[in-house]
A and B are shown apart, each in its own frame.
Chain A
Amino acid sequence: MTHKALIVALLSFGLLLAALIARNGDLALMALPFLTYLGAGILTAPSLEKIRLRGTRSLNVTPCDGNTAIEVGVTIHNDGVGMVPLRFSDLLQPGMKVTGGDPHQWAVLAAGEETELRYTFQAERGSFRWETLRTVASDPFGLFESELELPASAELQIQPKIKRFRPIPLRPDSTLHSPGSIPARLGGSGTDFWGVREYHPGDSLRRLDWRLTARHPHQFFTKEFEQEEIADIGLILDARQRMDVRVGEDSLFEHTLSATASLAEAFLHQGHRVSLLIFGDKMTPVFPGYSKVQLNRILRNLAKVRLGPDSSRLSLGFLPLRMFSSRALMVILSPLESGDWPIFSRLRARGNEVLLICPDPIDFALPSFAQDLPGRLGVRAARVERRLELRKIAQLHIRVIDWQVDQPLSPLVHNTLRQARGLRG
């Protein structure tokens, strides 16, 4: 029974009561149209037992204006008997922006007839899943409604956009003993000359150093080359709600997430082992792995990330570091807040090398700040505070990239890692 039916019932009852009190038959007659209206609603109210509907959902994905446009179509077929007034509404999920059509529709379906609910939405990224179509069957006046969930399932995933990076010149302190592209400062089978040692039985004759062997009769020497191995990389994405800054439709978090996806792609493309931890109100780990399978796993998890409603008590200090090896190169992507720096000393104490990519929230939100004197002073104070914080972290021998998100990240990563290599070399 809806509010509408309640109002009509109360009015008809009120009129009958007034007729009794006033002893006026005409007032009772006035209640008759209200009662027939209500009666018609009761008589034509649909029964869920008799409604036989069938739904089929189709999705059509097309790229549009840098986003992805998805056309959703649900065909509803009436397999039952009789004419049913129906109201359909499809579930709108977070991240959907309806650009065409309507996810709500009214229809009257006779037996054997079908209708189609069609709308288009755009989304930057996300994981969308539909199980049912909400259907409300009612009498023609909408006095008595019956709700049913019509099965019409479909699933869709829009992965975050990836910007292709040039190969990143890594030179970590520790490497994994699998053939790769990073000189490991160990003799073995590589391409760069590393040194000469005494011949051991089993060494390939091709690698014999004939000149040295000629100078020392009765002794053989073998040339060694520098082994090239892969790196173990752990990516940490800060997905705490309060770390996000929004300026209009633009979100700092979305830039950070896109950078994480691009870095994962670049590292995996170079053959490294990559793991990911999405740190928000829910921790989402992607355990270490290689190749396209791992990239898909990472992108699938990044597509699903939603900033939690409340993560105010979460600090980076709660990071579960055990999932990362102490020899892994940790890449942390976070705008950081003042209490976050102790995690960096913890990481250094474990022996991890760390690269911090810190998207600049002050620069990002600059257009929304007041341009008067107090506003400008506030921005300056915030910048000084941030710079001091980053300097404190850099003093722990951590490479820090202060990233203004409108700048391309790839050259910054290249420069930072190249400088670090130069210092060591």
Chain B
Amino acid sequence: MSLRRVLFPFCLGISLVCLAGGYGMTAQWLGAGAVLLPILALLFSKKLAAAWLPPTCLVSLVCLAAAGLLEGAPTFLMILGATAALASWDLMNLDRSMAGSASSETVRRFEKRHALSLAIALGLGLLMATSGKLFSLQIPFALLILLVLFDLFSLDRVSRYLGNRNARG
């Protein structure tokens, strides 16, 4: 069995346990039940073959995690749940794009590298989020708005730079 097919249900399971557990800990059973729906949809989205379904499920799970946070669910569980949902969505996309390709050494290596990069990127993100929780930093509201705008501007510049670089190449 390929690595992506092993990791996908594993990440989805983590997301389910974290989000439903977080809601359960604050006795919000309706929220815990609502988590099941996008998880199941993501699990069976390959069979349903609807291109819009996986991103919709990811957005739903992130919204549920954000709502759980606002309702007082444990922060770490909610962040971990959203991160695991992102990982499972990524693996789901990888599985879709590689559908039909024969299992070979190159494909296995490709999967391994993908999984490793995913683990590093998301692990780093989780680490930063956890450390952010540990170190309290007071940022003025206006500066926060500026930071968000800067984030948006940076994304736009980076995507333009990448586009130009490829066009030159």
Q: Which residues of A contact B (CB under 8 A)?
A: 1, 3-5, 7-9, 11-13, 15-20, 22-30, 32-42, 44-45, 47-49, 51, 83, 85, 87, 101-102, 104-108, 115, 139-142, 144, 146-148
**Is A140 in contact with B152, judged by CB distance below 8 angstroms?**
no
Residues on the A chain within 8 Å of B6, using CB: none
Closest to A140 in B: B117
Q: Bound state CA distance, A115 and B62, in angstroms?
A: 39
Judge whether B30 is part of the interface by a CB distance below 8 angstroms.
no
Quick one: CB contact mask for B9-21 with A, threshold 8 Å, 1 for yes? 0000000000000
Residues on the B chain within 8 Å of A108, using CB: 106, 109-110, 113
**Is A105 in contact with B101, judged by CB distance below 8 angstroms?**
yes
Closest to B158 in A: A42
**Is B169 in contact with A105, judged by CB distance below 8 angstroms?**
no
**Is A40 in contact with B110, judged by CB distance below 8 angstroms?**
no
Q: How far is the CB of A346 from chain B (nearest CB, A)?
A: 54
**Is B86 in contact with A36, judged by CB distance below 8 angstroms?**
no
Partner of B86, one of A1, A3, A33, A48: A33
Within 8 A of A (CB), among B37-74: 55, 58-59, 62, 65-66, 69-70
Judge whether B1 is part of the interface by a CB distance below 8 angstroms.
no
Residues on the B chain within 8 Å of A22, using CB: 70
Q: Bound state CA distance, A87 and B166, in angstroms?
A: 16
Residues on the A chain within 8 Å of B145, using CB: 20
**Known contacts A32-B128, A33-B126, A36-B121, A106 near B93 by CB under 8 Å:** no
Residues on the A chain within 8 Å of B83, using CB: 33
**Known contacts A16-B151, A27-B69, A106-B106, A141 near B114 by CB under 8 Å:** yes
Q: Bound state CA distance, A141 and B129, in angstroms?
A: 21
Residues on the A chain within 8 Å of B75, using CB: 26, 29
Residues on the B chain within 8 Å of A40, using CB: 117, 120-121, 124
Closest to A139 in B: B117
**Is B86 in contact with A37, judged by CB distance below 8 angstroms?**
yes
Q: Which 4 A-B pairs have the closest CB atoms?
A: A48-B169, A33-B125, A36-B125, A40-B121
Closest to B59 in A: A11
Judge whether B36 is part of the interface by a CB distance below 8 angstroms.
no
**Is B106 in contact with A32, judged by CB distance below 8 angstroms?**
no
Q: How far is the CB of A15 from chain B (nearest CB, A)?
A: 7
**Is A107 in contact with B106, judged by CB distance below 8 angstroms?**
yes
Residues on the B chain within 8 Å of A16, using CB: 148, 151
Which of A36, A139, A147 has most B Cβ within 10 Å? A36
Judge whether B118 is part of the interface by a CB distance below 8 angstroms.
yes
Which of A4, A9, A140 has most B Cβ within 10 Å? A140
**Is A36 in contact with B114, judged by CB distance below 8 angstroms?**
no
Partner of A4, one of B93, B109, B132: B93
Closest to B74 in A: A26
**Known contacts A16-B148, A40-B117, A29 near B129 by CB under 8 Å:** yes
**Is B101 in contact with A102, judged by CB distance below 8 angstroms?**
yes
Q: Bound state CA distance, A17 and B163, in angstroms?
A: 27
Q: Bound state CA distance, A3 and B55, in angstroms?
A: 10
Q: Bound state CA distance, A106 and B111, in angstroms?
A: 9
Quick one: CB contact mask for B120-138 with A, threshold 8 Å, 1 for yes? 1110111011001100000
**Is A23 in contact with B141, judged by CB distance below 8 angstroms?**
yes
Q: Bound state CA distance, A115 and B158, in angstroms?
A: 31
Judge whether B35 is part of the interface by a CB distance below 8 angstroms.
no
**Is B133 in contact with A26, judged by CB distance below 8 angstroms?**
yes
Residues on the A chain within 8 Å of B144, using CB: 19-20, 28
Within 8 A of A (CB), among B131-169: 132-133, 141, 144-145, 148, 151-152, 155, 158-159, 162-163, 165-166, 168-169
**Is A42 in contact with B162, judged by CB distance below 8 angstroms?**
yes
Closest to B115 in A: A140
Q: Bound state CA distance, A142 and B126, in angstroms?
A: 21
Q: Bound state CA distance, A28 and B152, in angstroms?
A: 14
Partner of A48, one of B97, B100, B122, B166: B166
**Is A106 in contact with B110, judged by CB distance below 8 angstroms?**
yes
Residues on the B chain within 8 Å of A18, using CB: 66
Q: Bound state CA distance, A25 and B113, in angstroms?
A: 33
Judge whether B82 is part of the interface by a CB distance below 8 angstroms.
yes
Q: How far is the CB of B147 from chain A (nearest CB, A)?
A: 8
**Is A33 in contact with B132, judged by CB distance below 8 angstroms?**
no
**Known contacts A37-B122, A49-B169, A30 near B86 by CB under 8 Å:** no
**Is A24 in contact with B70, judged by CB distance below 8 angstroms?**
yes
**Is A142 in contact with B93, judged by CB distance below 8 angstroms?**
yes
Partner of B132, one of A32, A44, A142: A32
Cβ contacts A to B, 27 pairs, < 8 Å: A1-B162, A4-B93, A7-B59, A11-B58, A11-B59, A12-B151, A13-B151, A15-B66, A20-B145, A20-B148, A27-B70, A29-B79, A32-B79, A32-B125, A32-B132, A33-B82, A33-B83, A33-B86, A33-B125, A34-B86, A87-B97, A106-B97, A107-B110, A115-B106, A141-B121, A142-B93, A144-B159
